[in-house]
A and B are shown apart, each in its own frame.
Chain A
Amino acid sequence: MKAVIYIISTVVLFILMSKLHKKYSYSFLLPIVTTTIVLIIALLLLNIPYDDYMEGGKWLQHLLGPAVVGLAYPLYNQRKLIMKYKYTIILGIFVAMLSGLVTIFAMLKIFKIKDSFILTALPKSITTPVAMQVSETISGIPSLTAVLVMIAGFVGALFGPLVFKVGKIKSPISRGISMGSASHGVGISKLKDFGEKDLSIGSLSMGVSAVMGAILCPLFVYLFF
């Protein structure tokens, strides 16, 4: 019974927060952020343990598997765009994934952060649902990974345009590739300001980088841990 209440309240809150975001489209009002914060406060105030909440939550989470499989639909639809710029897209995303992995790994090693946190941070450039499943595969902490992924997204949305200016990154294709493969969905929402082409290359890069990251992350872990 409790489980049903948890499911319904999560869904209802999410719908309300989505409406709020539609009305005022600030990125800090993204439903994922607001719903999570409100629910965390509710769990803490009502003294509900996380495991108890998950009795209901696990049913929602279970839909992530088929939802990620569903990413095949946009990827297949964009195959013509991929083929048109295949070298740039494949190599560009490869460079992005590699520099994301190497820089975060090097920094955390320098500060002597424990391995379980490093494994948690490695998938941070990948879109949340895939990142969490990668995190699980490489024995990171999926929920922490999800938070770091959100941070990576916001960094891209807020400072991405500045990085483009500093690096003189002017082509829509390279803007889309770098944002899509470093800051996933939250980052590419910012590409709307640049143009339609930036946006479609961005969402395509998000999908391709998720698949590539899901393969590269475990490989990286296998080589360096």
Chain B
Amino acid sequence: MRIIRIIAQIGILYFFYYVGVFLVDLTHLPLPASIVGLLLLVGCLQMKWIKIEYIRDGAGLLLGSMTLFFIPAMLGIIDYPELLSINGLILIVSVIVSTLMTIYFAGIISQKIEQKELKMKEKKEGKEGKIIESSHLHH
């Protein structure tokens, strides 16, 4: 029974994927079809058109073994021996440096934004607190 349920749920995910493929073909949007499908599915979940239970087990199974699905594509590097050249080395070093800089900038800036957001919330809560207080006084 569980197997049939999982297969049916994967069918639902496939359906959204193919709707994504259809929309990308139709509109020539430069977006991966799977991301379009994902956004549509999140929208349907949000609107309560689809219950989360309808996809939970299927999504769980696919996400749990997702690594397996991109191994065949990774093997494709055997057709690109260029990676073992000077240009390949520059490519790899640039990825390393860029990743370190990204972690640094994103960390520092999001920490600043977080402090601002916390302050904003405190102010808001402070105000709401006062309003409640003053309405208490009136009654």
A interface residue numbers (CB < 8 A to B): 10-11, 14, 31-32, 35-36, 39-40, 43-44, 50, 53-54, 56-58, 60-61, 63-77, 79, 85, 87-88, 91-93, 95-96, 99-100, 103-104, 107-108, 111, 113-114, 117, 120-121, 124-125, 128-130, 132-134, 136-138, 141-144, 146-148, 150-152, 155-156, 159-160, 163-164, 166-167, 169-171, 173-175, 177-179, 181-183, 210-211, 214-215, 218-219, 221-222
Contact = CB atoms under 8 A, between A and B. Distances in A.
A32 B73 CA distance: 11
Nearest to B66: A67
Contacts, number: 307
Interface residues of B, number: 70
Nearest to A136: B32
Name, among B73, B87, B103, B114, the residue most crowded by chain A CB atoms within 10 Å (CB to CB): B103
Interface in B39-88: 39, 41-42, 45-46, 52, 55-56, 58-60, 62-63, 66-80, 83, 87
B63 A67 contact: yes
21 contacts: A10-B68, A14-B68, A53-B72, A64-B34, A65-B34, A65-B37, A76-B45, A87-B116, A96-B102, A103-B98, A130-B32, A142-B76, A143-B75, A147-B83, A152-B98, A155-B99, A156-B103, A170-B111, A174-B111, A211-B35, A214-B31
A129 B111 contact: no
Contacts of A39: 71, 75
B113 A72 contact: no
Contacts of B8: none
Nearest to A72: B41
A150 B77 CA distance: 13
Contacts of A215: 31, 35
B108 interface: yes
Contacts of B66: 64, 67, 129
Contacts of A76: 42, 45-46, 52
A96 B105 contact: yes
- Please provide the 6 A-B residue pairs with the shortest distance between their CB atoms, ordered closest to farther: A143-B76, A57-B72, A92-B110, A96-B106, A70-B59, A133-B32
State the majority secondary structure of interface residues on A: helix
Looking at A128, A147, A164, A183, the one whose CB has the most chain B CB atoms below 10 A away is A147
Contacts of B78: 40, 43-44, 50
B38 interface: yes
A63 B66 CA distance: 8
Contacts of B131: none
Interface in B11-45: 13-14, 16-17, 20-21, 30-35, 37-39, 41-42, 45
A120 B105 CA distance: 23
